[in-house]
């Protein structure tokens, strides 16, 4: 599995300076919909390995990043391209919807 855990220390390097699109899953261990989406995110990471970075941020551990990016509900999925937010969706999504976000 090639999902990277993000935190305040590695966020800038892994996301803002990335030359590849980055999909971030904002989640929490107590969140049922987040648990439902976890295998889907893992699949996307495997399917698009080398093309995109797939990352997760635990909002309980990294509250400052959740606040900075206005994450009000989870799961929230944000795609970054060239260091800027390119797409966002909230809640349970089909795999195809998340993959399409990466094509924006």
Is the pLDDT reported for residue 1 higher than 60? Answer: no
Is the pLDDT reported for residue 100 higher than 70? Answer: yes
* Per-residue pLDDT reduced to its tens digit, 44-65: 999 999 999 999 999 999 999 9
Answering whether pTM is above 0.75, one says yes
Domain count, the chain: 1
CATH number at residue 50: 3.40.30.10
Give the pLDDT of residue 2: 82
* Per-residue pLDDT reduced to its tens digit, 60-88: 999 999 999 999 999 999 999 999 999 99
> 6, 22, 23, 34: which is the annotated catalytic residue?
34
> Which of 47, 46, 3, 38 lies closest to 23 in space, CA to CA?
3
Work out whether the CA dihedral 70, 13, 60, 87 comes out positive or negative. Answer: positive
31 is annotated as an active-site residue: yes
Q: Which residue has the tokens 């935190």?
A: 7
> 6, 15, 24, 31: which is the annotated catalytic residue?
31
Is the pLDDT reported for residue 103 higher than 90? Answer: no
Give dist(CA 82, CA 66) in Å, integer: 20
- C-alpha dist (Å) from residue 52 to 36, 46, 47, 90: 22, 10, 10, 20
């Amino acid at each position: 599995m090639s999902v990277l855990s993000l935190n305040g220390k590695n966020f800038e390097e892994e996301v803002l300076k990335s030359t590849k699109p980055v999909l971030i899953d904002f989640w929490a261990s107590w969140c049922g919909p987040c648990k439902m989406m976890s295998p889907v995110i893992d699949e996307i990471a495997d399917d698009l390995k080398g093309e995109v970075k797939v990352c997760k941020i635990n909002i309980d551990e990294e509250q400052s990043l959740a606040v900075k990016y206005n994450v009000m509900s989870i799961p929230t999925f944000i795609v970054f391209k060239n260091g800027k937010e390119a797409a966002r969706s909230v809640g349970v999504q089909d795999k195809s919807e998340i993959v399409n976000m990466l094509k924006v």
